[in-house]
Structure 1
Amino acid sequence: MTSTSASGSSVAIIFLILCLVRTSQAIWLTLPSSGTKCVSEEIQNNVVVLADYVVIPDDHSHSPTISAKVTSPYGNNLHQKENSTHGQFAFTTHEAGNYLACFWVDNNPGGGGVSVNIDWKTGIAAKDWESVARKEKIEGLELELRKLEGAVEAIHENLLYLKGRESEMRDVSERTNARVAWFSMMSLAVCIIVSTLQLWHLKSFFLKKKLI
């Protein structure tokens, strides 16, 4: 009975790990005949990113081509390709923030929109586990445990990243509250000074006119 319970707990933990680590996603985009469509992903520092994209023609009698451009949060150009039906970009992040991938149609003889499939992988999903298995001569359960170990490390890094972002947001909130409080006090002080000057001016005016 104890063994069954332990086995069930292990399966639940593995399932939880795999659910928490969102490292791969397939995206479908329909590009208009003119204009640009972009996808973005918030990624922390020192993470491997690998993505493949391919044009899916609605009519196989013609082959539309697209352009792609990937930029970092600070605007650095990481990938650019023109007049292509497919492509791939791979890089390791050196900046934390939103990475932007934009696509637009270069040539579409058939007119209309163009469908693009993007397979975007980050972190552990972008790792070449076949090469790891060959290099370290591991397979089966040991390889799966290595993958889970990588997933745990990814979760830990994500938690640290989120903790850091929370700390930054808290600091920004505290600074904003302090500035609002200072501005409120200054506004109150200005109002009191202006009111005092108005009373003094009115009193002087009435005294001069001998009304009081």
Structure 2
Amino acid sequence: MTRIYFSATVAISLIVLASTWLQVTQAIKFDLAAQEKGEDVPLCISHYVEDETNVVVKVKAGPGPNQKVSVEVTDDSIHQNQLWRKDSMNEEWQRGSFLTKQAGDIVACFSNILSDGYKPDPRYTRAIELDFDIGSETIDYAKLAEKEKLKPMELELRKLEDMVSDIVDNMEHLQAREVKMRNTNESTNERVKWFSTLTMVVLVTLGLWQIFYLKRFFRKKRLID
């Protein structure tokens, strides 16, 4: 009995450790060069998200004098709807949350504008950190545990359940895309087959017509019987 209990405890611990390791995310870090106002070209980073999905965008800008960093998050629709915007970024994490209405890329565009009187220079840069939390990653489990009075093990299992649910959703999405791509490939192959058949028929017809035409031409010129 003790051995069974120990094995179950180890298994649950390994599951919890795996879920914790899988949920660790690394923010995207890069240096954003400063540009003059009116001549700036935004630097954009995109991330694909399914429809009806909760998304939290977290952004932080490092120190940099005489530079103003702004971020705007939009979707990739024709209208490029604005989902979140933040001006005058600082060294504290800024959070923007929203619910996607359609599947597609969400695009975060950054601008770093110099103050009046300053010219672009390699030393004028600010370090940017960007992190996307999607689906279950947006859940505040501390508040959830307090609200539902969950024990530590129950909380970890809830995290694991949400993570597995996200994985299942992603697998179903990949499966749907695979089916769509397979149908497209089969349709393309069918069209190629008919096009190849039509091409062969046209070539054979032209060849026969050319033979009969030349034969008739040579007989008319009395070059052959």
Relative to the length of structure 2, the TM-score reads: 0.79
Counterpart position of 1:32: 33
Counterpart position of 1:200: 212
Q: Is 1:83–1:106's contact at 8 Å kept on the other side of the alignment?
A: no
Q: Give the RMSD, CA atoms, in angstroms.
A: 2.5
Letter in 2 for 1:115: A
Q: Is 1:31–1:114's contact at 8 Å kept on the other side of the alignment?
A: yes
Counterpart position of 2:37: none
Q: How does 1:60-139 map to 2 (within 5 A)?
A: 62-75=65-78, 76-79=80-83, 81=85, 83-86=87-90, 87-107=94-114, 109=118, 111-112=121-122, 113-139=125-151
In structure 2, the CA distance between the partners of 1:164 and 1:148, relative to structure 1 (3 Å rule), is same
Distance 1:146 1:119 in 2: 23
How far 1:49 sits from its partner (Å)?
0.6
Runs (5+) with no aligned partner, structure 1: none
Counterpart position of 1:182: 194
Letter in 2 for 1:26: A
Distance 1:182 1:167 in 2: 23
How many residue pairs get matched?
A: 208
Letter in 1 for 2:194: W
How far 1:26 sits from its partner (Å)?
0.8
The alignment partner of 1:88 has SS state of strand
Runs (5+) with no aligned partner, structure 2: 35-39
Distance 1:9 1:82 in 2: 44
- Could you report, residue by residue, the CA deviation over 1:133-159 in whole angstroms, capped at 9, with x for unpaired residues? 233233422222222221122122122
How far 1:206 sits from its partner (Å)?
0.9
In structure 2, the CA distance between the partners of 1:92 and 1:144, relative to structure 1 (3 Å rule), is same
Distance 1:197 1:124 in 2: 69
Counterpart position of 1:13: 15
In structure 2, the CA distance between the partners of 1:179 and 1:25, relative to structure 1 (3 Å rule), is farther
Q: Which moved more, 1:29-38 or 1:141-150?
A: 29-38
Letter in 2 for 1:159: M
How far 1:170 sits from its partner (Å)?
1.2
Distance 2:23 2:188 in 1: 33
Q: Is 2:75–2:83's contact at 8 Å kept on the other side of the alignment?
A: no
Counterpart position of 2:157: 145
Distance 1:53 1:36 in 2: 15
Q: How does 1:148-163 map to 2 (within 5 A)?
A: 148-163=160-175
Letter in 2 for 1:106: I
How far 1:17 sits from its partner (Å)?
4.2
Distance 1:18 1:203 in 2: 83
- Could you report, residue by residue, the CA deviation over 1:20-52 in whole angstroms, capped at 9, with x for unpaired residues? 567x44111222335332222222222211012
Identity of aligned residues (%): 31
Q: Which moved more, 1:77-86 or 1:182-191?
A: 77-86
Distance 2:206 2:22 in 1: 59
In structure 2, the CA distance between the partners of 1:138 and 1:159, relative to structure 1 (3 Å rule), is same
How far 1:122 sits from its partner (Å)?
1.0
Q: Is 2:26–2:131's contact at 8 Å kept on the other side of the alignment?
A: yes
